[in-house]
Structure 1
Amino acid sequence: MDRHIQEAGRAALAADSDALAARLRDSLGTDVVLTGPETARYCSDWHGDVHSGAVAVLRPRDTAEVAACMRAAVALGLDVVPQGGNTGLVLGATPDAPAAQVVISLERMTRIRRIDADDFSAVVEAGAVLESFKDQVAQAGLFFPLALGAQGSCQIGGNVSTNAGGVNVLRYGMTRDLVLGLEVVLPDGTVFDGLSTLRKDNRGLDLKQLFIGAEGTLGIITAVSVKLLPRPEHVATALLALDSLPDAIELYRRARRQCCDLMSAFEFMPPLALTLAQEAIPDLQIPIQADHPAYVLMEISGSGLVDIDDLMARFLELAMEEGLVVDGVVAQSHAQAQNLWLIREGMNEGQAKRGKHLRTDVSVPLSKLADFVAEAEAAIAQDMPAAVCVSYGHVGDGNVHLNVLPDFAQGPDSLDAQILKSKKIVNAVLDRFQGSISAEHGIGRLKKPDFTARLPETRRRLLLAIKAAIDPEGVMNPGCQIDRT
């Protein structure tokens, strides 16, 4: 195509976008509508790998304004991309049609409407930052167990929309297991009010479940009612060294039986994790040698009359006597425990610092986890000998992040091809193990091709029927999860 024709086309699109943005400002007010350079951070993914644009970013302050934004956008023929803290890893909240979409950000809707200590529940708006909400719940003597590396910036609405997992899943479940009710603005601008805090309510289909994990493809979650628990008064955290991943899984099996439901986290990491963490946080203290084949970060917690420290000590004494644990350290203070968790969190940042790489979020049956990691890493080593695997995850729920650092020496132009090749290798092994390509991150736009390629026809038909019933015009987050037809 002639360069002048291309430039004319871009100018026409820009003019149309400016006119649409002006009409949105007239309808919603200049305080709600952002355009121009201010929208850049809303139109890029968390890692900065993808940059796009939108006609405007709309920032409503309450549910009524969300409904007004929805009606205004649809009236102008625009599609809607809901966005929380924009910390997702699968491009679920990243617009991909700059001339045809608006982003509706929930970041101003941060109010905690109610914390009820007697009911062990809370009602919180979708834009509340997870860590801030957890802190306010703790001040009431209660505990919200969802725990993520991004909890300082991710938002409750996004957690629910993606059915976030995190490090406490094996004890408390996914986000879905913590939700009691939802308030949702639907594609036609009406509001579904299901903010019940009832634990038992068997009045037919549980409609809130349709929106949990839907990634904004059916509506915009504006408020959530959640379960709260007694705050753990005693927490024991240990970083342990082992001779292999199978030993780590055997240790988990024993911990699951001997520590029972008091075990709240059990994470495995390779030795490279410690190196990556120090690359990201140079002054990070690593209180254990970094030359063991496998590491486990384990936490047990409880309240009341349970002696958590004694339980951890007795459990580890037996494990070390039998040679299952070869080295380890138990945190003696809250600060030391936080330092141990920084190793787990810093590992992710260290990978990002090395450069663009494959990030996976897969799950297999727990009994097959060690075999899957061994086969997938061997397949990568055979076909991509200069690549480096970083396999870590949540042992108790079979979730593995088998990431692959490509051969950076080949240059930046080769990275996308290397990443695609490594993804195909990992997914081929995963298919043999009948695993899932997304354990906790969701599908978004990034994983949609792999998701749809593996989607059985009956499930696809049901998903499309639900989409057509709730969003018949297909205005909600098009391009995310599944196509309209």
Structure 2
Amino acid sequence: MCLKGDRMGDHEALLAALRARLGPRHVLTAPEDVAPYLDEQRRLFRGEALAVARPAETAEVAFAVRACAEAGVPVVAQGGNTGLVGGGVPRGGLVLSLARLDRVRALDPLGATITVEAGAILAEVQAAAEEAGLLFPLSYASRGSARIGGGIATNAGGVAVLSYGNARDLVLGLEVVLADGRVWDGLRALRKDNAGYDLKQLFIGSEGTLGIVTAAVLKLYPRPRSTTVAFAGLASPARALDLFAHLRARCDRDLTAYEVMPPFGLDLVLRHAPGSVRPLAGAHGAYALIEIASSRPEADTRAETEAALAEAMADGVVEDAAVAASEAQNWALWHLRESLPEAQKREGASIKHDVSVPLARLPAFLAEASAACEAEMPGLRVCAFGHFGDGNIHFNLTQPAGMDRGAFLAEWGRFNRIVHDIVHAMGGSIAAEHGVGLLKRDELLRYGDPVGLDLMRKLKAALDPNGVLNPGKVVPEAGAESRDGV
């Protein structure tokens, strides 16, 4: 946002008020200080900002939002800035970094809850729960830098959705700063509360467009006493789905993660990720990473895993499998899966699609979408992987060898149309776990239900009538046209 015309005085007054309340060193205006807050992780978008404010408590967040609302200055909240759809990229106005709101306010072992502030790093919340002998199950690759507020704002999923659900399933209560600076105190640790609308669900997944989450009460679970990871080679994605059905019937809730990688994805990891070791001899049409975990004192997850895989092999579902015999081997197998996004970067540019389809249609989607994309661009390499057990696939396209990176990424819109049309026809979602942000906002005009979009606009108008909170994200403007591209 430029400081021009008759708004300059208002902006200077706003900055002065913020400095007086937060302290001068927590209001950043120098370009070199603001720069790290302007880019998102994939560098598809670069924003601009008047300043970055770093409040240390909810009252300071409320003050900053109220001051911005009075000055007509937009506010974009940021946590770890690990988002993948441009939802935290500022488009002028104030960046509100919640990194200093990082306290664990309370931990209740009996009630199995933890109350944390929005800036708490996910891995540190997991560690606090573990110290109490409990588990906070939300987990994804960026857990060492991602912050709880961002995970709630995007309804993050990750690798444990099978047993524990998405972020919204793990939230009991919220504290939220509204667009006018008021604070909604919904920090309740109740498992049952039907006293009116479940207001917290409005803010979970809203990407900071309806309110700014400053604290949350989260569910905890018994810590697993026994965990085993296995890696299976299968003939095809259809066989991977067969194995999932077998494991779910055989192991029930002990099946905590089920991830599938293509041969090309495994090859990328072995080529680009230091310390990676091929777990199986020979080549297979698909690979499944399986985690079986149990909190039962008598549980022997290794024996359970071996028995389940032996049955699947006898039935011809599994071609080969390796079962970890230690925590170190568990980690080594997970390393193969979690190294894949970085390995893709090292291989070249990727056009990425975070989509979901009904489980039964996963193999058909992979076959149809892969064939359509490969026919559109010779040499294109499909790398489709992800949370197979909950229907979420990261359908990523790697540039052909030798092709110019910029020329390839310029085709993003064309491949959006191919992939998203297939997803939509199969009753799926074009935004599975990463959110909408800027990247997919206008895609909603093509694929979203008109009544649903109207409801979204009405909610936004009711809770943020002046468009102060993260404007231009998630909710497409009425009458706008879908635009292809990034």
**Normalising to structure 1: TM-score of the pair?**
0.94
Counterparts of 2:150 and 2:342 in 1: how far apart (Å)? Answer: 21
Amino acid at match of 1:49: L
Question: Quick one: which of 169, 180, 185 aligns to 2:161?
Answer: 169
Q: Are 1:21 and 1:35, in contact at CA under 8 Å, matched by a contact in 2?
A: no
Question: Quick one: which of 35, 39, 42 aligns to 1:40?
Answer: 35
Aligned to 2:178: 186
Q: Are 1:182 and 1:221, in contact at CA under 8 Å, matched by a contact in 2?
A: yes
Aligned to 2:465: 472
* CA RMSD between the two structures: 1.9
Aligned to 1:62: 57
Aligned to 1:335: 328
Amino acid at match of 1:236: T
Residue 286 (str. 1) matches residue 278 (str. 2)? yes
Q: Which moved more, 1:226-235 or 1:311-320?
A: 311-320
Aligned to 1:437: 430
Residue 72 (str. 1) matches residue 67 (str. 2)? yes
Aligned to 2:481: none
Tell me the CA shift for residue 456 of structure 1.
2.0
Tell me the CA shift for residue 344 of structure 1.
0.6
Q: Are 2:79 and 2:119, in contact at CA under 8 Å, matched by a contact in 1?
A: yes
Tell me the CA shift for residue 442 of structure 1.
0.5
Question: Relative to structure 1, is the Cα distance of residues 268 and 12 closer, same or farther in structure 2, using a 3 angstrom cutoff?
Answer: same
Alignment of 1:213-228 (within 5 A): 213-228=205-220
Q: Which moved more, 1:279-288 or 1:394-403?
A: 279-288
Q: Secondary structure at the match of 1:368?
A: helix
Q: Are 2:175 and 2:184, in contact at CA under 8 Å, matched by a contact in 1?
A: yes
Q: Are 2:352 and 2:396, in contact at CA under 8 Å, matched by a contact in 1?
A: yes
Q: Are 2:108 and 2:114, in contact at CA under 8 Å, matched by a contact in 1?
A: yes
Aligned to 2:117: 125
Counterparts of 2:439 and 2:282 in 1: how far apart (Å)? Answer: 34
Question: Quick one: which of 299, 314, 317 aligns to 2:310?
Answer: 317
Tell me the CA shift for residue 260 of structure 1.
0.8
How many percent of aligned residue pairs carry the same amino acid? 43
* Runs of 4+ displaced beyond 3 Å: 9-13, 15-24
Counterparts of 1:10 and 1:458 in 2: how far apart (Å)? Answer: 37
**What residue ranges of structure 2 are gaps of 5+ in the alignment?**
479-486
Q: Are 1:478 and 1:484, in contact at CA under 8 Å, matched by a contact in 2?
A: no
Amino acid at match of 1:153: S
Counterparts of 1:435 and 1:396 in 2: how far apart (Å)? Answer: 15
Query: What is the total number of aligned residue pairs between the two structures?
Result: 474
Tell me the CA shift for residue 213 of structure 1.
0.4
Amino acid at match of 2:241: I
Counterparts of 1:290 and 1:177 in 2: how far apart (Å)? Answer: 40
**Normalising to structure 2: TM-score of the pair?**
0.94
Aligned to 2:145: 153
Q: Which moved more, 1:430-439 or 1:305-314?
A: 305-314
Aligned to 1:86: 81
Aligned to 1:450: 443
Q: Are 2:112 and 2:219, in contact at CA under 8 Å, matched by a contact in 1?
A: yes
Q: Which moved more, 1:365-374 or 1:325-334?
A: 325-334
Alignment of 1:218-297 (within 5 A): 218-289=210-281, 291-297=283-289
Q: Deviations over 1:14-57 (max 9, x none)?
A: x9498464554345431321122111111110123332221001
Q: Which moved more, 1:222-231 or 1:392-401?
A: 392-401
Q: Are 1:265 and 1:299, in contact at CA under 8 Å, matched by a contact in 2?
A: yes
Tell me the CA shift for residue 484 of structure 1.
5.7
Q: Deviations over 1:116-169 (max 9, x none)?
A: 101111100000000111011101000011110111111111111100001110
Counterparts of 1:179 and 1:339 in 2: how far apart (Å)? Answer: 31
Q: Deviations over 1:223-254 (max 9, x none)?
A: 00011000001001001111111000000011
Amino acid at match of 2:271: E
Residue 96 (str. 1) matches residue 88 (str. 2)? no
Tell me the CA shift for residue 410 of structure 1.
3.1
Q: Are 2:49 and 2:90, in contact at CA under 8 Å, matched by a contact in 1?
A: yes
Q: Which moved more, 1:128-137 or 1:448-457?
A: 448-457
Counterparts of 1:181 and 1:23 in 2: how far apart (Å)? Answer: 31
Question: Relative to structure 1, is the Cα distance of residues 290 and 187 closer, same or farther in structure 2, using a 3 angstrom cutoff?
Answer: farther
Counterparts of 2:133 and 2:310 in 1: how far apart (Å)? Answer: 33
Alignment of 1:284-433 (within 5 A): 284-289=276-281, 291-303=283-295, 304-407=297-400, 409-433=402-426
Q: Are 1:273 and 1:343, in contact at CA under 8 Å, matched by a contact in 2?
A: no
Tell me the CA shift for residue 393 of structure 1.
1.5
Counterparts of 1:123 and 1:413 in 2: how far apart (Å)? Answer: 45
Residue 53 (str. 1) matches residue 53 (str. 2)? no
Tell me the CA shift for residue 354 of structure 1.
2.4
Q: Are 1:270 and 1:295, in contact at CA under 8 Å, matched by a contact in 2?
A: yes
Amino acid at match of 2:150: G
Q: Are 2:21 and 2:60, in contact at CA under 8 Å, matched by a contact in 1?
A: no
Q: Secondary structure at the match of 1:31?
A: helix
Q: Secondary structure at the match of 2:350?
A: coil
Tell me the CA shift for residue 429 of structure 1.
1.4
Counterparts of 1:483 and 1:476 in 2: how far apart (Å)? Answer: 14
Q: Secondary structure at the match of 1:138?
A: helix
**What residue ranges of structure 1 are gaps of 5+ in the alignment?**
1-8
Counterparts of 1:289 and 1:74 in 2: how far apart (Å)? Answer: 61
Q: Secondary structure at the match of 2:140?
A: coil
